[in-house]
Amino acid sequence: MRLDITLCLGLTFGLAYSQASEPIKPEQFNKLHAIIKPNPDEEKFMQIPWMIDLWEARKKAASEDRPILLWEMDGHPLGCV
Amino acid sequence: MGRELTFADAKIIEIVNKNFVPVAMDDWFQRRRQDAEGDFFRKVADQGPRKGSGGGTRQGIYAFTADGKLLQYRNSQDPEVMRAFLLSALKSWGSLSQADRNAAKVAIPELKKIDPRYVPILTKDTLIVNVHARILEKENDFFCHGTCKFPGGQRASHDHMWIRESEWQALLPKDPKVGQEIAIPENLVYRLARFHLIDNTRGEPPMWARNEVRKASLKLFVSDITKEEVRLKLTGAILLATDADEKNAKRGYDASMLGEICYEPSKRKIIKFNAIVMGEHWGEGTYTGGSRPGRAPFGIAFELADPAKPADRVPPQAIREFAGYFEASK
């Protein structure tokens, strides 16, 4: 087992540790941040002005005489997945 | 992730934007809530094939009128099928009798009460941080986007971390000095580790149990001070593993963290929250099959959200249990 500090974790977060993953180099930060984030091509579905409140969508649909399109998923479609 | 591909189709975007009021919801909450909105949703869903028997899912794509008459239902990721679905729904809408069209213009009453168990409340002073995870690969001593057999699994995921006012205020020293260390609230460290260092690139992920946080050594200190802003640097190392001996852990994440938080000292307002967690992830959960074999590079990026955008106000996935989310260290 690499780490013995596990049991103490609830008490303090400042303990010494051994580290397998390499520290992130500050000069690589911006490039890495940009690579991880969604790029515009992946965000096309956000060109649709999704509302996140069904009741408010009902009001809007009634006042604009339009049907509602509901995207319903286990896990919010604009959230975790 | 697959349905993101569906709604990335240019024709579908055009049809939706021109004709519909689009709304996106989490079925886990909607099918459970016992209030007028929950009743309304179930009334709509029960007109289709997914009646949620036994409390089961009602997920899918629904077209209906404001007064709750179902026009069409489908649950497909195929853009061609969805284009046909939308056109069919519009045909149904156009075929409604005048009485039904009039009924669809009904005045919607205000929601008098909501079911607090299934409606996460975002308070005005909560800080929202967008969280994006992505599989990566090594390339020429750096990293590039990873590849994955799971449809859409190479894309960046979306989630949001909510930080209560008392917690983010605790990060901002009143009389900052360069080099000064700031204690990060324990609940915030555990919330970050357990609920936001997750592989949600292929669907609903398992969260980390408290005892699976094997290490979370985070350090926050003042790195620079000007009249306009105070800069805080965040560094750390994190080990998450399903077994105390990580070699035996079926799922794990061994990573480093680097970030910067900036705030305006006069207003005590956070103006920047940029961070990365970068390391090797391995394993998968019940609903996140199709992971890459072995340990593979996996990055998570954090940045301040814009609460004016509806998508940025979507609750964190892990908030399904409110107390567990905010009291993550217990």
The interface pTM score, or ipTM, of the predicted complex is: 0.91
Residues A11-47, buried b or exposed e (16+ Cβ, 10 A)? Answer: eebeeebebebeebeeeebeebbebbbbeeebbbbbe
Instruction: State phi, psi for B70 to the nearest 5 degrees.
Output: -70, 130
Average model confidence (pLDDT) for chain B?
Answer: 94
Q: Dump pLDDT digits (tens) for B89-124.
A: 999 999 999 999 999 998 899 999 999 999 999 999
Average pLDDT over residues B220-231: 97
Helix (H, G, I), strand (E, B) or coil at B4: helix
Average pLDDT over residues B74-92: 94
Joined together, the tokens standing for residue B38 give: 């929950």
Angle between the N-to-C axes of helices B79-94 and B10-19, in degrees from 0 to 180, rounded to the nearest 10: 20
CA A70 to chain centre: 21
Residue A7, pLDDT above cutoff 70: no
The predicted structure's pLDDT at residue A5: 34
Average pLDDT over residues B290-316: 95
Average pLDDT over residues B171-181: 97
Counts for chain B of helices (H) and strands (E), in that order: 9, 12
Average pLDDT over residues B151-162: 92
Q: How many CA atoms lie within 13 A of B169 on its CB side?
A: 6
Average pLDDT over residues B217-233: 97
The ranges assigned to domains in chain B are: 2-118, 127-326
Instruction: State phi, psi for A65 to the nearest 5 degrees.
Output: 55, 50
> Distance (Å, rounded) from C-alpha B171 to C-alpha B49?
50
The predicted structure's pLDDT at residue B30: 94
DSSP result, B88-130 = HHHHHHHTS-HHHHHHTTPPPPPP----TTS-----TT-EEEE
| d(CA B45, nearest CA chain A) in Å | 10
The residue in chain A having the minimum alpha-carbon distance to the alpha carbon of residue B74 is A71
Whether B21 and A64 lie within 8 Å, measured CB to CB: yes
Residues of A in contact with B44 (CB under 8 A): 70
Joined together, the tokens standing for residue B216 give: 């979370």
Geometric angle at alpha carbon B148, from B144 and B150, rounded to 5°: 145
The residue in chain A having the minimum alpha-carbon distance to the alpha carbon of residue B132 is A37
The predicted structure's pLDDT at residue B322: 72
Average pLDDT over residues B187-209: 94
Average model confidence (pLDDT) for chain A?
Answer: 80
The residue in chain B having the minimum alpha-carbon distance to the alpha carbon of residue A53 is B23
Helix (H, G, I), strand (E, B) or coil at B285: coil
Q: Which of B83, B131, B138, B107 is nearest to B292 (CA)?
A: B138
The predicted structure's pLDDT at residue B6: 81
Chain B, window 120-149: residues with a beta carbon less than 8 angstroms from a chain A beta carbon? 132-134, 136, 142-145
Instruction: State phi, psi for B259 to the nearest 5 degrees.
Output: -165, 175
Average pLDDT over residues B186-202: 96
